[in-house]
């Protein structure tokens, strides 16, 4: 699974003018199930995100997790995270999970975050959504449960 995580002061998602989810301080998690992903990838990613220390402590250092701060997560499905832009000008999405499996894993992932003790709000799978947010920092992190490139071990400034 792939996720783009943004630390936010607040975020909300609307479908056809109706609010489906909104949070105050916390994380906006844009999530995509990839072809071949299973619950194991969702479990791994949910645990990593719940423990990710990207919130400021009393000394102003990024040292606290979402669990530590009591913030919430707004989880929004975004299959375009699977975009392959290696050829031509039109991205391909063949590496994304098929819609039924993508929705199942999206819901499972959200439930796993709840099991980690987090408050979770959601967008609407497959809908045309309007997402608004105030990025805090800004802090934006790309994660992949399979470490297909980003998030792999390397230089840590």
Q: At what angle do helices 39-51 and 99-115 cross, to 10 degrees?
A: 40
Is residue 39 included in any domain, yes or no?
yes
Average pLDDT over residues 40-67: 96
* Residue among 55, 80, 93, 140 flagged as catalytic: 80
Range of the domain at 94: 2-144
Write the pLDDT tens digit of every residue in 110-136.
Answer: 999 999 999 999 999 999 999 999 999
Percent of the chain with pLDDT over 90: 90
Q: Give the model's confidence band at 150: pLDDT under 50 very low, under 70 low, under 90 confident, else very high.
A: very low
Active site residue 80: yes
pLDDT at 44 exceeding the cut of 90: yes
Task: Specify the CATH number for the domain of residue 124.
Answer: 3.50.80.10
Is residue 152 included in any domain, yes or no?
no
Is residue 129 included in any domain, yes or no?
yes
Q: Give the model's confidence band at 151: pLDDT under 50 very low, under 70 low, under 90 confident, else very high.
A: very low
Whether the Cβ atoms of residue 7 and residue 148 lie closer than 8 Å to each other: no
pLDDT at 148 exceeding the cut of 70: no
Radius of gyration of the chain (CA): 15
Q: What is the DSSP letter of 84?
A: B
Element spanning 99, H or E? helix 99-115
Is residue 154 included in any domain, yes or no?
no
Active site residue 79: yes
Is residue 38 included in any domain, yes or no?
yes
Whole-number pLDDT of residue 147: 62
Number of domains in the chain: 1
Is residue 155 included in any domain, yes or no?
no
Q: What is the pTM of this model?
A: 0.90
Is residue 89 included in any domain, yes or no?
yes
CB atoms inside a 10 Å sphere around CB 118: 22
Active site residue 55: no
Whole-number pLDDT of residue 145: 87
Is residue 156 included in any domain, yes or no?
no
Percent of the chain with pLDDT over 70: 93
Lowest mean pLDDT among 63-77, 102-116, 141-155: 141-155
* Residue among 78, 93, 95, 140 flagged as catalytic: 78
């Amino acid at each position: 699974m792939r996720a783009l995580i943004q630390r936010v002061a607040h975020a909300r998602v609307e479908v056809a003018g109706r609010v489906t989810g909104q949070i105050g301080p916390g994380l906006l998690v844009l999530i995509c199930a990839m072809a071949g992903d299973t619950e194991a990838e969702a479990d791994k990613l949910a645990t990593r995100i719940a423990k990710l220390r990207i919130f400021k402590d009393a000394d102003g250092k990024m040292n606290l997790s979402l669990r530590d701060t009591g913030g919430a997560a707004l989880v929004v499905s975004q299959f375009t995270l699977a975009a392959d832009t290696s050829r031509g000008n039109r991205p391909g999405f063949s590496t994304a999970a098929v819609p039924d499996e993508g929705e199942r894993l999206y819901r499972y992932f959200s439930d796993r975050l709840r099991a980690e003790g987090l408050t979770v709000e959601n967008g609407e799978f497959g809908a045309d959504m309007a997402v608004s947010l105030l990025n805090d920092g800004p802090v934006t992190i790309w994660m992949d449960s399979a470490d297909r490139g980003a998030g792999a071990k390397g230089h840590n400034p």
